[in-house]
Amino acid sequence: MNEFQLTLTNIAARRSTSISQLAKLVGYEPFLFENIVAGKTRQVPVDFFIRIADVLELSTVETDDLVRSWAFGIERWNWSLNNEGSLRGPVKRRAG
């Protein structure tokens, strides 16, 4: 489960709503909604977070947490700084 999915599931559970109920309430096609939540697609509709915030009546802090989990979720930890540097090889400098 990715960070966004975990955050959204926790918020929805506090509101006594399931993810499938939420998909219906926000008005998106369930397949699209599930793909976004599961992290299978990064292409979200422009009003995606606004609709979720409105339906779940999220506070500004909760909305920010949700957006932050999407933008800076665990997907960013799938790469390593050490691996990135080793792919390039040593820097060759020219004299003079």
Tokens of 80: 């390593």
- C-alpha 11: how far from chain center: 14
All residues at 6 or more sequence positions from 58 whose CB lies less than 8 Å from its CB, including other chains = 11, 52, 66
Tens of pLDDT along the chain (96 residues) come to: 889 999 999 999 999 999 889 999 999 888 899 999 988 988 899 999 999 999 999 999 999 999 999 988 644 444 444 444 445 555 566 676
- Domain spans of the chain, in order of start: 3-77
Structurally, what CATH architecture does the domain formed by 3-77 represent?
Orthogonal Bundle (1.10)
All residues at 6 or more sequence positions from 5 whose CB lies less than 8 Å from its CB, including other chains = 37, 38, 39
Number of H helices, E strands in the chain: 6, 0
Q: Is the pTM of this model over 0.75?
A: no
